[in-house]
Amino acid sequence: MSTTGHRAGVFKKPAKPHKSWKGKRTKGEITADNRGREGVKEITRSHSTHRAVSKDARRNQLKMARERKMADAMERRRTSNAPCLVTVVSLGVGARPSEFIKKLATCDETIVQTTSPSTIDFAVSRFKSRISFLTPDKENVDAVLDAIRASDVLCFLWPLSAELSEWDEQLLTIIKAAGLPTIVSVVPGLGGIANHKKKEDVRKGIEFTISKWSMSSAGVLPADSVTDNLQLLRILNETKKKPLTLQSRHSYMLVENLDCTDKKEETCTLVAQGYLRGPEWNANNLIHLPGFGDFQVSRIETAQDPHPLKTSGKPHEIQVIATADDKRQSLETEITPDAMDGEQTWPTQEELEEADKEMRRVPKGTSSYQAAWILDDEDDDEDEDSDEDMDDEEDESAEEEDDEDGDEEMDLKSEAGETTASEMMFDDGIDEDINMAEVEKYRKERENAQWPDEVDTPMDQPARIRFQKYRGLKSFRTSTWDAKENLPLDYARIFQFANYKNTKKNVMSKIGGNDMDAGDSVISKKFNGAFASVFIENVPLAVLEAYKDTKNLVLFQLLPHEQKMSVLNMVLKKHPSCTVPITSEEQKFIFYVGFRQFEANAVFSSNTPGDKFKLERFMPAEKTFVATVYAPIIFNPATVLCFRQDDKGRQELVATGSVLDTNPDRIVLKRTVLSGHPYKINRRAVVVRYMFFNREDIEWFKPVELYTPSGRRGHIKEAVGTHGHMKCRFDQQLNAQDSVMLNLYKRVFPVWNYSLFNRNLNPSRFVERSRVESISLVNEDAMEE
């Protein structure tokens, strides 16, 4: 192999020298003449193009930004006074969380344990830190998700057998879809196994289960001896925290005490006490109460810390650290539409007078007043016919009411004492999840998969009347569709961003204390993590009663614009555990989007590139789709969990995903396919029947293009006869087994039925199947036996 490079030939011309002797200045002379001044082109080019900045300068900028972020993170960690919040979840037949925490408390004599309605707190003077433990009921999805949203560390207690029940697997799916903080995996009883080989096999089996669920973990930890427990406390305190996106954007608080002041007839000022977590709190931002909506904050005050690291005899002095001003966000969630706001032509006085006059034959000389009292013969006949019709309708309505009363009595009997079909199947030992009422859904889903979007042309009414809201498209991908055309009245109630990306960038740049115009409404960094009281104004009195038994109440502050209603688009994928056909028309879904929980109807559409998206009549089982709902604005990325309520009032998981964007201009088109049958084929000329049933419909749909499943394209030429036969011409000859199709499209919008979720449903069916009592901590004697 030759090591020499390319050698130029004899005809290669050398580079032209710079002709400085012809009056052209060299680069050195230009630099010396400018003396540091830059031309207009160089200045504008440096701002418009990225290449004007050198590679070293760009590398230095990235390095400085990285160092600035690390310094901010270290400063936040040093100045944060809040204890490390750990959520303990037991899987399978592992140890009970309460017994696990009791054993941790005995590993060091200097640990001072305190309790609150929501947490168990350790003041560990050995590590100069505090740790708070949350132990939610794992059968309650809302309690587990609320605890994880506020936690710094998630601690899993794994069983020695590494076997998980159906509900444990479902719970892990929900937790992963909602977002995972820093994970610590603990196996109580692992250190008590005397046989080293068996111990390694158990450890590898648990690590294999963890890797199967794709959860990053630094291995499993034992929790049996005092040394193991001390090491575990050190890891929980010093491990690198990975905050959720929800925690890094929104200020939040795990409420420990709840009280109310300034009681009025129906409202009061709610006082929530807890540690201020997340970015710096802003009193001008709204706060979200789960199940009740958004409210305004009046002020934030410091309070006596109930879990101090060191007790001091000095009384605590209350200090106001943030107050709301005239710049605080409004509670306006939607726009009140003006019914008169639109173009309309009001009739003139002459047109109104002409409309009042009736053209009828009256005797000569009769005044207008007398003519109004004269009845025609046709009016008399109509009155008599209407009386007879009314009598007939009353008889028919009476019979229908009797039938309905009989049906209601039968329904009441079935509800009161008789056994329904589903209950009979459950008694006979058949799968309780089978519902005979859903057989029709399975049939429709199978038909839609075999003949997508096909609809039979009605015979009792003209097709031009039945499909008058539809239109044809030359190409679904390239044809234009105005996004502002024929909008529903609900679109007058929502908000829309002129530039979503720019607005999101501005909102994110002012999170925490980065807003220079906030003034006294933002707390100082030294109060980050302090125990404080937040005063929430105009809260209904029912809130205090509703939250009386709630242990894990988490309050989140809203970013600007997040209280306003708009059209929210979410990318979802159906969960394998949901085997029931899901339609958007009949079902109202429960959405967990970020820190919000609400109920709404959704419109399903395809997740494809382009400016128009086809409606999905049924929720796809294998591919992702986009669900569109009316909901408050939420900036992406944000996690989404979709549930439904089954016929027994249970909350079942349907789909998981994330927020796509907030865009009311997303065009979702419902496709309807009309099909016909080739009657006569003469090369490319075909007579088609059974697509329409009258001549006028053929003339109406004549401009729309036809196609066949085999890829042939054609157009309607003319109608043949009066019974719906039509002559068509295609680009190639058709086969006798082909069908002729015609596509029609109509834009669809979601239904406005947004409501807050009150968390009053029964647990999932997997909880009923997998009720297994957790075992106690395994002691060393039992492991040796």
pLDDT value at residue 12: 75
Q: What pLDDT was estimated at residue 378? A: 45
The residues facing 342 across adjacent strands are: none
Query: Is residue 2 pLDDT above 60, yes or no?
Result: no
pLDDT band at 70 (very low <50, low <70, confident <90, very high): confident
Q: Give the confidence band of 360 by pLDDT, cuts at 50, 70, 90.
A: low
> Do residues 734 and 601 touch, judged by C-beta distance below 8 A?
no
Mean pLDDT (the chain, rounded): 81
Residue 602 in contact with residue 636, Cβ under 8 Å? no
Q: Indicate the range of 215-219, 514-518, 549-553, 601-605 predicted with least confidence.
A: 514-518
Which pLDDT tens digit goes with each residue over 239-253?
Answer: 888 889 999 899 999
pLDDT reading at 757 higher than 90: no
347: cis peptide before it, omega within 30°? no
Which residues contact residue 637 at a Cβ distance below 8 angstroms, ignoring those fewer than 6 apart? 245, 658, 659
pLDDT over 80 (residue 781): no
648-671 residue pLDDT tens: 888 889 999 999 999 999 999 999
| Residue owning tokens 């939420």 | 634
All domains of the chain in start order, with CATH = 79-242 (3.40.50.300), 249-308+317-329+527-556 (2.40.30), 438-500+563-784 (2.40.30.10)
Which stretch, 102-116, 353-367, 694-708, has highest mean pLDDT?
694-708
What local confidence, expressed as pLDDT, does residue 367 receive?
A: 61
Residue 383 has a pLDDT of 46
pLDDT band at 359 (very low <50, low <70, confident <90, very high): low
With a cut of 60, say whether residue 44 has pLDDT above it. no
- Rounded Cα gap, residues 511 and 521, in angstroms: 13
Greater confidence (621 vs 450) lies with: 621
Alpha carbons 345 and 352: distance in angstroms, whole number? 13
Beta bridge partners of 631: 566
Residue 407 to residue 466: CA distance in whole angstroms: 33
List, in order, residues 6 or more apart from 600 with CB less than 8 Å away: 588, 589, 591, 629, 630, 631, 750, 753, 754, 755
Tokens representing 18 are: 């710079």
What integer pLDDT is reported at residue 774 of this predicted model? Answer: 45
Contact between 553 and 629 under an 8 Å Cβ cutoff? The reply is: no
pLDDT over 90 (residue 394): no
Q: What percent of the chain has pLDDT over 90?
A: 29
Q: Is the pLDDT of residue 30 over 70?
A: yes
Task: Say whether pLDDT at 382 is over 50.
Answer: no
Residue 591: which pLDDT band, with cuts at 50, 70 and 90?
Answer: very high
How many angstroms separate the CA atoms of 470 and 747, rounded? Answer: 8
Q: Is the pLDDT of residue 42 over 50?
A: yes
80-99 mean pLDDT: 85
Q: What are the pLDDT digits (tens) for 472-527?
A: 998 899 999 999 988 998 999 999 998 999 999 999 888 866 665 666 778 887 88
Dist CA 738 CA 453 (whole Å): 17
pLDDT tens sequence across 134-182: 999 888 888 999 999 999 999 999 888 888 888 888 899 999 999 889 8
Model confidence band, residue 424 (pLDDT cutoffs 50, 70, 90): very low
Answer yes or no: is pLDDT of 555 > 80: yes
Largest CA distance in the chain: 123
pLDDT per residue over 308-339, tens digit each? 888 777 777 888 888 888 888 898 888 887 76
Q: Say what the pLDDT of residue 134 is.
A: 92
d(Cα 33, Cα 18) in Å, to the nearest integer?
18
Write down the pLDDT at residue 541: 87
Strand partners, 671: 745
Determine the pLDDT at residue 363.
65
- DSSP string for 612-640: EEEB-SB--SSS-EEEEEEEE--PSS-EE
Higher per-residue confidence, 433 vs 204: 204
In DSSP notation, 391-421 reads HHHHHHHHHHHHHHHHHHHHHHHHHHTS--H
632-641 tens-digit pLDDT:
999 989 999 9
What pLDDT does 38 receive?
66
Confidence of residue 433 (pLDDT cuts 50, 70, 90): very low
Higher pLDDT, 357 or 700: 700
pLDDT tens-place string over residues 250-287? 999 999 988 888 888 888 999 999 999 888 888 889 99
